[in-house]
Structures are given as C-alpha cells and as structure tokens.
Amino acid sequence: MREAGLTGTSARGVPPLWKLVAAFAAVYIIWGSTYLAIKFAIETMPPFTMAGTRFLTAGAILYVFARARGAAAPRGVHWVSALVIGTLLLMGGNGAVTWSQQRIPSGVAALLVTITPCWMVLLDWLRPDGTRPTRPIVLGLMLGLSGVALLIGPESLMGGGRVDPIGAAVLLAGSVSWATGSIHSRHARVPSRPLLATGMQMLCGGSVLLIAGRIAGESSIDVAHVSLRSVLAFAYLVVFGAIIGYSAYVYLLRVSTPARASTYAYVNPVVAVFLGWALAGESLTPRMLVAALVIVSGVALITLSRQPGAAPGSSPSTAAIRPEEPIA
C-alpha cells in the first residue's frame, strides 16, 4: 500500500487541485528560469566549478533526505550507474549549458536545449534493435532540426544577428550527451527511490564537474569577489531548480500522465526567452520567435506521438533528472 504522503493524493485517489497547479507552475516557471539564473551565477563564478558545487550541494540534501525517509543504502552497482548517468547528464549536459552561456544568450541556450528529444529519437532508432520512429515523429524531428538550422544559420537568414558557433556547437553536443544519458537511464540499475537515485547522480555528476573545472584551469570560487546577484542565483539553482523543481516533476509523474508532465518542454523555452529579454537585456528578434515556434512544434509532435509499444508521451526513467532540466 502506498502512503498518501508519497503521492500527494487524497483518500479518493484524486490529487488536490492546488498541488497540481503548484507542481505545474514549478516545472513551467522554475525550470524555464534556470537558464537566466545560470547566466547570473557565472558572472562572477567559474562555470564548471559553480555547476559542480551546485549539484554536490543539492545531491547531498536529496541523498540525506531520501535515506532519512527510509530508502535502503545503495549498492556498488547503483553507484556505478549514478556515475555514468551523472557524467552524461550533468557533466556533458548541464556543463555544456553552463559553459556555453559565456558565449550565447540564455534564451538562445534554452531554445537549443529544447531539441534534445530529437536526439533521443535518433539515438533510440540507431541503437541495436532500436525503435523505428513513426511518420509524425519523423516530421517532428525534421521540424526541430530545421528550427535549429534557422536559429544558428548565417546572419543573412532572416537577420537578427548570428549565434556564436562555438557556444552553439558545445550546447548541441551537450544535448546529445543528455539524450544519451536519458536513454541509458532506462536500462541502468538504479535505486527504486527516485530522489535517492537523483541525489546519487548529482553527487557523482557534481564531482566530475569539479574535476573538469580543475582540468580547464578554473580557480576555486573566491567568495570575496562573488557578487550578490551570483550568490542569489546560485542559491536559487540549488533550492528551486535542483530540489523543488525536480521534486515537483516526480510528483507529476506519479499523479498525472507522462504526456502532461512533459509539457514543460514547450513552456520552458518561452519562459527563458522572455526572462532573458526582460531581466538581462537579451535581444528578442523575429528570427528567434520563428525558430522557437518551429522547434517547439517539432518537440510537441515527438512528445505527443505514440511510439510502437510505448505509451503516449512516454519519457525516460524518473531516475534521470529529467529529459531536459534540462538540462539547466
């Protein structure tokens, strides 16, 4: 028998409306705002070191909380899976997002990250005994990639300036890493408690990010030279982005459907683009708006289409942090 406290449902099995509204607001707004928060955090903090410290802090909190709630101690094989998944998702995925925002606007980063479901479809198709995509999914794939081409193409294409090619390339490579980690998490041996598995992945991924920072020549965070805005952004990323946002997503997967829970993928880039324009003075050009519409339309087709043998809107294992915190 499941405890009501784990699902948040009433005795009649219907979740309270206010909890549903709060959870959807969290994954829509909080996850959409993490891109701008990253931009503010790395203004006075080295990117890999900031991200590593963020996930080590959040991972420790989630791990201790899950163990205090009765989760069994993880086995060695669980830690191996956590290291692989954490490296692919957090070092490869989030690390790319964090580093690339030194070169590209936060809104553009969010739009490029939105293409992740396209890579997941391609990778899942190319693997041995992979799933052949349906026609609607192929159309969604073509739309999504067309939107990316429009966004990062030559400046003469609809005008509006050109996206830095190095930053875009790193971000696209990071989204491929995130997609690979998400697919791997479906088959990896992980603890049954999602929060425990996520805490372990954050601890491992955060450690790898700190190592990457050292290899990249980053210095330790000098508190005396960190601005108040960066400190507040870092705290926001730990508490709201990594803990509250993910907990809300896990809750939605339990009381709603994967298709509804995954609708954050359509809203997050809109929130990120608006906040970047309103709070960071980032450009909002017709080119960005058209690219956003094309990319989000493609992702919607992929997410809502039914794969053979899969439920509509099916998503990777909830042991993975999410198909896209993002990967922010």
What would the mean pLDDT of 160-181 be, rounded to a whole number? 88
* CA gap 163, 277 in Å, rounded: 16
CB within 8 Å of 142: residues ≥ 6 apart:
298
* pLDDT of 130: 79
pLDDT at res. 186:
80
- State percent of the chain over pLDDT 90: 49
**Residue 187: burial class (beta carbons within 10 Å; 0-12, 13-18, 19+):** exposed
What's the pLDDT at 87? Answer: 96
Per the listing, tokens 């994954």 go with 27
Task: Read off the pLDDT of each residue in 258-271 and give the average, rounded to a whole number.
Answer: 79
Band of pLDDT at residue 223, cut at 50, 70 and 90: confident
What pLDDT is recorded for position 5?
Answer: 34
Measured distance between the N- and C-terminal CA atoms of the chain, rounded to whole angstroms: 35
- Residues belonging to the chain: 328
Q: What is the distance between the alpha carbons of residues 30 and 26, in angstroms, rounded to a whole number?
A: 5
Cβ–Cβ < 8 Å for 46, 221:
yes
DSSP characters over 228-269? HHHHHHHHHIIIIIIIIHHHHHHHHHHHS-HHHHTTHHHHHH
Section 184-204 average pLDDT: 91
pLDDT at residue 75 in the model: 96
pLDDT tens, 65-116? 999 999 999 999 999 999 999 999 999 999 999 999 999 999 999 989 888 8
Alpha helices in the chain (DSSP H): 4-7, 17-25, 31-41, 47-68, 76-86, 95-100, 106-113, 116-126, 135-152, 165-187, 194-215, 228-236, 245-255, 258-261, 264-280, 286-304
Q: At what angle do helices 47-68 and 31-41 cross, to 10 degrees?
A: 130
Residue 276 and residue 152: Cα distance in Å, rounded?
18
Lookup: tokens for 185: 């998490």
> What are the Cα distances from residue 14, in Å, to 4, 9, 42?
11, 5, 42
Tokens of 277: 């324009």
Q: Which of 13-27, 166-180, 277-291, 293-307 has the lowest mean pLDDT?
A: 293-307
Mean pLDDT for the stretch of residues 210-232:
93
Looking at every residue in the chain, the average pLDDT score rounds to 84
Residue 47 pLDDT:
97
As a whole-number percent, the residues of the chain with pLDDT over 70 amount to 86
Q: Which of 133-137, 186-190, 258-262, 317-321 has the lowest mean pLDDT?
A: 317-321
Q: Please tell me the pTM assigned to this model.
A: 0.84
- CB 299 within 8 Å of CB 115: yes
Q: Does residue 326 carry a pLDDT above 60?
A: no
